[in-house]
Amino acid sequence: MAVAPSGIVTLLTDFGLRDPFVGVMKGVMLGHCPALSFIDLTHDIAPQDVAAAAFWLGHAYRYFPEGTVHLAVVDPGVGSSRRALAALCDGHYFVAPDNGVLGAVLGADASVVQLEVPQTASRTFHGRDVFAPAAAALASGQPPSALGATVTDWLSIASAAPVVGEHTSVGQVMVVDHFGNLISNVRLDATRDVAHVICKGMQLPWVRSYADAQPGEIVALLDSWGLVEIAARNSNAAAKLGAGPGEAIELHYRA
């Protein structure tokens, strides 16, 4: 069932802001729908880092009104045979390449279609020629079904789930944020009392907030996304530990 568009389009890319690519996509969308409002989620995804894009999109979209269109263009396969998708799921619209970037948002109830790629489309800038027009169409009230044929086999990024035990849980770092905080895939059960966290062979104290740590001290805590995070107060935990995405972390619980 269609959802009334909110008039908001969010953008998430690895384009950066030095070049005009983001602005051009906004211009294309405004040409189709001049009343749109844009929110830049981020344009600082590391180049071609589809996994990080999927992580941030999956955590950010739900903070917007239903009917928002989320345009995600991290597209190392641009110009190849990879598909272009538009979707409706959980009351939100999504437009992105079919490379796993939507894997964290599309559930079993998603309505997903394959977008047609015009023959005139650039082979290096589908953000402008394919995804922006589709996002504008959705924001104008067209349902995904009007934009292409239904698909059910969209791609997701395979990642190991945390292993939760009675005394320990083991997960991994998913992304490193701007501050060098290591954000994991471990959600903390409110009934569990964490004693400490181990990463890179170091035993890190569990604290309630950054302010509970000493300047430069590496600690573990529950972050604003409800995930276990490793941070260094007023410093960069990733650099201090030499750790990044895929690094194992181990939670130890008090009895």
Tens of pLDDT, residue by residue over 193-225, are 999 999 999 999 999 999 999 999 999 999 999
Tell whether the model's pLDDT for residue 47 goes beyond 80.
Answer: yes
Q: Compute φ and ψ for 41, nearest 5 degrees.
A: -65, -55
Per-residue pLDDT reduced to its tens digit, 77-132: 999 999 999 999 999 999 999 999 999 999 989 999 999 999 999 999 999 999 99
Residue with tokens 């409002």: 37
Predicted local distance difference test score (pLDDT) of residue 2: 80
Helix axes 132-139, 21-32, angle to 10 degrees: 40
| Contact of 250 with 169, CB cutoff 8 Å | yes
For residue 191, what pLDDT is reported?
79
Find where tokens 């959802």 sit.
3
Element (DSSP H or E) covering residue 238:
helix 237-241
What is the bridge-based pairing of β-strands 8-13 and 69-73?
parallel
* Per-residue pLDDT at 255: 81
* Contact yes or no for 64/11 (Cβ under 8 A): no
**Residue among 192, 182, 174, 179 at smallest CA distance from 230:** 182
- Residues 184-192: what's their mean pLDDT? 87
User: Across residues 188-196, what is the average pLDDT?
Assistant: 87
Domains within the chain, CATH numbers bracketed: 8-150 (3.40.50.10790), 163-253 (2.40.30.90)
Confidence label for 40 from pLDDT (cuts 50, 70 and 90): very high
Residue-level pLDDT at 159: 81
The per-residue pLDDT for range 154-165, each reduced to its tens digit, is 999 988 899 999
Are 86 and 112 within 8 A, CB to CB? yes
pLDDT beyond 70 at 1? no
pLDDT averaged over every residue in the chain: 96
| d(C-alpha 81, C-alpha 233), whole Å | 45
The Cα 100–Cα 240 span in angstroms is 31
